[in-house]
Amino acid sequence: MGGIAAIARQAGHRVTGCDANVYPPMSTQLEVQGIELIEGFSPDQLLQFATMPDLFVIGNVVSRGNPLMEAILNQGLPYISGPQWLGEQVLYGRHVLAVAGTHGKTTTSAMLAWILEFNGYKPGYLIGGVPLNFSISARLGEGKYFVIEADEYDTAFFDKRSKFVHYRPRTALLNNLEFDHADIFADLVAIETQFHHLVRTVPSDGLIVVNGEEPALERVITRGAWAPVERFGHEAVNEWSLIPQQGDGFIVRKSGKEMATVKWSCDSGVMGRHNQLNALAAIAAANHIGISPADSARALAEFKNVKRRLETIGIAHEITVYDDFAHHPTAITTTLDGLRRRVGNARILAVLEPRSNTMKLGVMKAQLPGSLDQADKVFAYGAKAGKDNLGWDLAEVLSPLNKEVQGKACTFDDLDTLVLAVVKEAKSGDHILVMSNGGFGGVHQKILKAVSTYQTKST
């Protein structure tokens, strides 16, 4: 919604917005764009406007019973969902490149948008994070191309279709597919159906780029595809494949023929096998609009990743603190794998807040211990009261880790206590990886500050 607000502002509209607990980097980005932010959803906001807004764009966080939404409905004011507004007012008539999948949407969208930008296409884009090559998460752009992170979550309380059905892509990139969003989907089959709906919107002269190593996506394609399909993966059986190289770079192959070599810059922060696949998928999608793999590889050599994707927050006393958005067991696994490949045998202290709706429901809790296997120590936070209450016993779920290595996992329901435990454990050369899909109470900076203070006192 923040990205949509930025695009509306760039299109010349006056934009205001409200939400609960708006936090950086989005709050900062919106303020820079000149977008007024109002805390909360009080209906009194409607009295603040000298002239009533022409349209209220409603995000899917808003439900019936929300006081501001009830006032909008009672007064008969015009409203629309964010994805529908975007589809009708911004995407209509443009060549949309949509990136869908359970994991990697933000990073892959950022890679694809940068490939287009580097090669002079000046694309519009909407990305669910802040890509460091652009410093803003959304742009109206010039010309006909628009890159969008295509989410399968539902659109709004009055439109239960997945957001991505509003986008009408000509190039659809299906990155992976696992069960997630247990608050709205009963099972994986239900999500596959939504992806099938997306595939049905791709025109016959478009292209579907699909991960050839994902059984769920293969089932989606088997249900029907009316556009050409190109598969990507590690193995040469896929039309697009790769040969790993030193430093997480790789050779790009198309139909078995070597086409280009991707070499990341030393400060890109891009690491891990999953990011190799993300980049390969972006190269395949860009090829559809005429950007050669070699030109894409040159762009990726200057790619700087996305905020909150293994982002280095700071270093104190040779202890590095990272922030990552990982909130699903598979994402946690791949994030830890990428960091492990970079730091070798150095210790990794994982600090985790399982706060997504799926995690709160406990659907993925059995996979959590295995996803943390590559961490040397685990510090997990789970509130025992309020809206962030997990509803299940975090210590019990993580107990298998302590059977493998005594004391490997500790759980906390107080952030200050967690921070103190982390800094007491941290030693020079350690890497502290913080993972959450929320603000996590600013724990990243708290740890960094506490590490500096505590280590100085210890010295």
Confidence category of residue 6, pLDDT binned at 50, 70, 90: very high
Pairwise CA distance, residues 180 & 193, whole Å = 14
Q: Is 350 left (phi over 0), alpha (psi -120 to 50) or beta?
A: beta
Pairwise CA distance, residues 356 & 353, whole Å = 9
Helix ranges (DSSP H) in 56-104? 67-74, 82-86
Helix ranges (DSSP H) in 323-414? 329-343, 357-360, 368-371, 394-404
Confidence category of residue 457, pLDDT binned at 50, 70, 90: low
Pairwise CA distance, residues 186 & 199, whole Å = 21
pLDDT tens digits for 31-46?
888 998 898 999 999 9
Domain covering 311-458: architecture = Alpha-Beta Complex (3.90)
Instruction: Count CB-CB contacts under 10 A for residue 64.
Output: 9
Confidence category of residue 229, pLDDT binned at 50, 70, 90: very high
Pairwise CA distance, residues 383 & 387, whole Å = 9
Pairwise CA distance, residues 61 & 11, whole Å = 24
Lowest mean pLDDT of 105-114, 251-260, 407-416, name the range: 407-416
To the nearest whole number, what is the mean pLDDT of the chain? 90
Q: Of the CATH numbers 3.40.1190.10, 3.40.50.2300, 3.20.20.70, 3.30.1490.20, which one belongs to the domain with range 84-300? A: 3.40.1190.10
Q: What's 235's DSSP letter?
A: S
Confidence category of residue 385, pLDDT binned at 50, 70, 90: low
pLDDT tens digits for 175-219?
999 877 777 788 899 999 999 999 999 999 999 999 999 999 999
Per-domain boundaries in the chain: 2-77, 84-300, 311-458
The reply to whether the predicted model has a pTM over 0.85 is no
The pLDDT > 90 percentage for the chain reads 61
Pairwise CA distance, residues 349 & 434, whole Å = 8
Q: Is 65 left (phi over 0), alpha (psi -120 to 50) or beta?
A: left
Q: Report the run of H or E that residue 26 belongs to, with start and end.
A: helix 26-32
pLDDT tens digits for 145-186?
999 999 999 999 999 999 999 999 999 999 999 877 777 788
pLDDT tens digits for 257-314?
999 999 987 666 677 788 899 999 999 999 999 999 999 999 999 998 877 777 788 8
2-77 belongs to which homologous superfamily?
Answer: NAD(P)-binding Rossmann-like Domain (3.40.50.720)
Give the CA distances from residue 288 to residues 116, 209, 411, in Å, rounded to whole numbers and listed in that order: 12, 9, 48
Torsion of the alpha carbons at 156, 160, 166 and 169, rounded to the nearest 10: 130
Q: Is the pLDDT of residue 386 over 70?
A: no
User: For residue 354, which amino acid is it?
Assistant: P
The pLDDT assigned to 201 comes to 97
The answer to whether 117 touches 134, Cβ cutoff 8 Å, is yes
Q: Is the pLDDT of residue 458 over 60?
A: no
